[in-house]
């Protein structure tokens, strides 16, 4: 008798799992929100990324302060958005000048952190990075900055 109860219970579990899999696979009727004539979202055409190139600037270390006191350093990996690949290659010659300008700017006015070692206003920081970089290479060459990685380093 016990054997039949165990076999019956296992078969019930197996049937339930099969029914759940069939439901989520879409073999049963669609849920009411989709069946009631809901409009499917139209996918927008992706932007043409072949015309955009990036120059990567890695391991840029700047000081970070909290409440006017030095706390730590922040190591950034950045990508500078440029018009084409030839411009990105041409920026390799200007990399020392970029690093120098960024270090000078952030040494005078360090990154202000709030609660944690890497808790800062990323929008304001990207704007500031873009301004400094455009001051070195020109506003027509560098159109934006992407912050790829931030690593707090104890100082």
Give residue-wise pLDDT tens across range 26-77: 666 655 555 555 556 667 666 565 678 899 999 999 999 988 899 899 999 9
Quote the pLDDT of residue 126.
Answer: 92
Quote the pLDDT of residue 30.
Answer: 56
| Tokens linked to 60 | 């840029």
Quote the pLDDT of residue 61.
Answer: 92
Give residue-wise pLDDT tens across range 71-113: 899 999 999 999 888 888 989 999 999 999 999 999 999 998 8
In percent, how much of the chain has pLDDT > 90?
37
Structural contact between residues 144 and 129, judged by C-beta atoms closer than 8 angstroms: no
pTM over 0.75: no
Tell me how far apart the alpha carbons of residues 130 and 146 are, in angstroms, rounded to a whole number: 9
Among 80, 89, 39, which Cα is nearest to 60's? 80
| Tokens linked to 65 | 């302060």
């Amino acid at each position: 008798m016990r054997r039949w109860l165990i076999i019956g219970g296992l078969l019930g579990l197996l049937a339930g799992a099969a029914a759940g899999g069939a439901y989520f696979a879409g073999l049963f009727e669609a849920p009411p929100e989709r069946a009631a004539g809901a409009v499917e979202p139209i996918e927008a055409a992706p932007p043409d990324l072949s015309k955009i190139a990036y120059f990567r600037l890695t391991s840029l270390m700047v000081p970070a302060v909290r409440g006017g006191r030095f706390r730590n350093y922040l190591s950034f990996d950045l990508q500078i958005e440029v018009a084409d690949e030839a411009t990105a290659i041409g920026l390799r010659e200007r990399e020392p000048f970029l690093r120098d300008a960024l270090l000078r700017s952030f040494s005078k006015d360090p990154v202000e952190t709030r609660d944690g070692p890497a808790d800062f206003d990323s929008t304001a920081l990207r704007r500031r990075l873009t301004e400094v970089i455009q001051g070195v290479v020109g506003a027509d060459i560098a159109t934006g900055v992407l912050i790829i990685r931030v690593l707090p380093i104890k100082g």
